[in-house]
Structure 1
Amino acid sequence: MERWYGLRKTFLLLLLLIVELSFSQVFFSTVDDLHEIVSNYLSLSEDPIVVAYSIDPEYLGLRNARMACEVPIEGAFVHISEGLLHSKFMVLDEQTVIFGSANFNQPSLEEHINNLIVFHSREIASFFKSIYNWLVYETTPRDHLKTREGEFFLVPISNVEKVFIDTLWKARKYVFICSYAFTDEDIFATLKFLSSEGVRIYIITDKWFESSRLKSLPLETFDVLEVKEPLMHHKFLVVDGKILITGSANFTESGFHKNVEIVFKTSNKEYVESFVEEFERIWRGYFVQGVRF
């Protein structure tokens, strides 16, 4: 009987793991251990592709991964062009993608405020793999991919600034913006007009905002929170609790037009609600990575 209960417990644990690995999930450093999540997925992968501005292979325990990055490391393709390689993603065994605002190093996964989304889709994995091939082998990638999960856009090929602004024009009640860097004047002008029409504008930025030219412009009609510590590295937008745009791109000219970035737009209720909850956690000053700001 005792053995039967032991087998039953093992079976249930395996079932829970299978369920977890079968559905897309959203993770935030405010409530989740991003390093553990990434490590667990990597431990199950035989063929990982890792792309990010900064990668620490030793920290991640990477051995045979294909890597592309901006900050040079041994064994990786190093990106050199006018814009930065600023996207952050992993493709695991051509069926799982880990994507978000976090670089794959210790500070980003353990200290900074970041998010990761895990997709289980061969279609999405193929799109992300094509971006790696574009960087390394100069093959022509698709500029965007539309799926059941939402739509992905590749910068600088897609005009994501237009995607953001077209989405903002749909706002009737409120806009949440959470971005490490916010300097784009067209986005700012759109927000000012929406504010004059009665739309509430809430912005969370990092202390980096102190150096932005927008800081000197009239902000009286916006609700703005500057996070002093830890580093606030999110990049996302929520409109009326109905539409989410997130990814690697900051709200800057470079992020929208020059860097290699990936942006994800969705109306999926679970994704949108997760990011609304994250915005509210930060806004209310909950403990984040062990530090209250």
Structure 2
Amino acid sequence: MNKYWIYILLILLVSCRPPAPEVRNEGLPPWCRVYFTPRDPVVDRMVSLVDHAQKRVWAAFYSFTQKEVARALLRAKGRGVDVRVVMDDATARSEFSQSHLIRGRIPLRTDFTPSDFMHNKFMIIDSFITWTGSYNPGETGSYRDNNNVIVISSTRVAANYEDEFLEMWSGKFGKGSSGPTLNPRIPIGRVMVETYFAPEDPCAQRLIELIRGAKKSIHFATFAFTLEPVAAALLERSLAGVEIKGVMERGQNSPWCCYRIFEDSGIDIRWDQNLYYLHHKFFIIDGKIVITGSFNPTKHAGNANDENMLIIHHSGVAQKYLKEFNRLWERQWE
């Protein structure tokens, strides 16, 4: 068989490859899906959602280097979908940023605040589907780092995220943001969902309140952790007999990192073993409540950056995150 026919055969094999299977989401409410990188096909899921958008795709990502997603946005724009993108100004200038592909073809805004970050990681589709978590679309974030994605189908949740997006779209970033979220607590059936946005909402204070309300256990996985009031709340619950376990990103070790505070206080704490990044920002309270989003427990995240925090009061969602935590807790070098 000559090289030409071998080449044609390879093309046919690739084109006939079935799509990645949907991740099993037993125990979750029907309006919620949860994914974890690097093992879940988040790029396929994101591209599929964008390809099925009919009216609107608004995306806000700190960094954006995934070509497949950029091409999906361009396809959506070509179908007449209202596509807009907000990015951090520094990452948008990177030579790897997909801003170079979409600029001039899709409306793009950046924050223009060099000392602060537009650190959000969310996308809203057709005013109904909200995609958020710790994930930035990119090769490393998709296939090497540890990230979480949560997808919520709810017009009311989407409305809060759209309000935040429009605020940034109008040029109000960081400390120039508008007032607090008017309706942060949203019941979906019997499940309470909360949405908060820094710096206008007291994200750190809400996190501390939930920590102080813990009765049995707190598990957390964080990229950066320097906010001592949050660390103090964890120490209080530990002294009260609550089980505390945490996994943190080794690359964030610094004089300001709270790891040593936990270690010296006898809290079960471990450095992550991924050779790349543990990029999660989640807490699990009593196996019933999950706090996730872009918010790291740091002073800058609460007072200066544009961030989002999503809280879900549902044991099935919490167990999904707890399984991820236990995998991180037990694993060896990858």
Find out whether 1:146 has 2:169 as its counterpart.
no
Deviation, 1:142, is 5.3
Matched residue, 1:12:
none
Moved more, 56-65 or 266-275: 56-65
* Aligned match for 2:210, one of 167, 180, 184: 167
Matched residue, 1:226:
271
Deviation, 1:267, is 1.2
* Aligned match for 2:316, one of 270, 274, 278: 270
Matched residue, 1:24:
32
So what's the TM-score if we normalise by structure 1?
0.85
The alpha-carbon distance between structure 1 residues 132 and 199, as it changes in their structure 2 partners (threshold 3 A), is: same
In structure 1, stretches of 5+ residues that fail to align are: 1-15, 287-291
Take 1:142 and 1:216, find their aligned partners in 2: how far apart are those partners?
A: 34
Does structure 1 conserve the Cα–Cα contact (< 8 Å) formed by 2:38 and 2:141? no
* Aligned match for 2:288, one of 218, 242, 248: 242
Matched residue, 2:148:
115
Matched residue, 1:289:
none
**1:275-286 counterparts in 2 under 5 A?**
275-285=321-331
Find out whether 1:99 has 2:99 as its counterpart.
no
String of CA shifts for 1:141-194, please: whole Å, max 9, x gaps: 752522125010011011111101111111222211110001111111122222
Does structure 2 conserve the Cα–Cα contact (< 8 Å) formed by 1:99 and 1:247? yes
Take 1:128 and 1:218, find their aligned partners in 2: how far apart are those partners?
A: 34
Matched residue, 1:132:
165
Give secondary structure in 2 for the equivalent of 1:40. helix
Does structure 1 conserve the Cα–Cα contact (< 8 Å) formed by 2:38 and 2:144? no
Take 2:57 and 2:261, find their aligned partners in 1: how far apart are those partners?
A: 45
Q: Which runs of 4 or more aligned residues in structure 1 lie more than 3 Å from their structure 2 counterparts after TM superposition?
A: 138-142, 215-218
Deviation, 1:138, is 4.5
Matched residue, 1:198:
241
Take 1:93 and 1:218, find their aligned partners in 2: how far apart are those partners?
A: 43
* Aligned match for 2:110, one of 59, 78, 81: 78
User: Which amino acid is 1:77 matched to?
Assistant: R
Take 1:155 and 1:97, find their aligned partners in 2: how far apart are those partners?
A: 18
Matched residue, 1:53:
62
Take 2:270 and 2:260, find their aligned partners in 1: how far apart are those partners?
A: 15
Matched residue, 1:156:
199
* Aligned match for 2:261, one of 217, 221, 226: 217
The alpha-carbon distance between structure 1 residues 79 and 122, as it changes in their structure 2 partners (threshold 3 A), is: same
Does structure 1 conserve the Cα–Cα contact (< 8 Å) formed by 2:179 and 2:200? no
String of CA shifts for 1:9-40, please: whole Å, max 9, x gaps: xxxxxxx9xx99x6321111154111111111
Deviation, 1:79, is 1.1
Matched residue, 2:307:
261
User: Which amino acid is 1:148 matched to?
Assistant: P
Does structure 2 conserve the Cα–Cα contact (< 8 Å) formed by 1:34 and 1:110? no
User: Which amino acid is 2:168 matched to?
Assistant: L
Take 1:122 and 1:25, find their aligned partners in 2: how far apart are those partners?
A: 16
User: Which amino acid is 2:284 matched to?
Assistant: V
Take 2:124 and 2:86, find their aligned partners in 1: how far apart are those partners?
A: 12
String of CA shifts for 1:56-75, please: whole Å, max 9, x gaps: 36331121331000022342
Moved more, 264-273 or 130-139: 130-139
Q: RMSD across aligned C-alpha pairs, in angstroms?
A: 2.4
Moved more, 83-92 or 103-112: 103-112
Take 1:154 and 1:218, find their aligned partners in 2: how far apart are those partners?
A: 27
* Aligned match for 1:37, one of 29, 40, 45: 45
User: Which amino acid is 2:228 matched to?
Assistant: E
String of CA shifts for 1:232-257, please: whole Å, max 9, x gaps: 00001111112221110111111222
Deviation, 1:212, is 4.4
Deviation, 1:265, is 1.4
Does structure 2 conserve the Cα–Cα contact (< 8 Å) formed by 1:182 and 1:250? yes
What percentage of aligned pairs have identical amino acids? Answer: 21
- What is the count of residue pairs matched by the alignment? 271
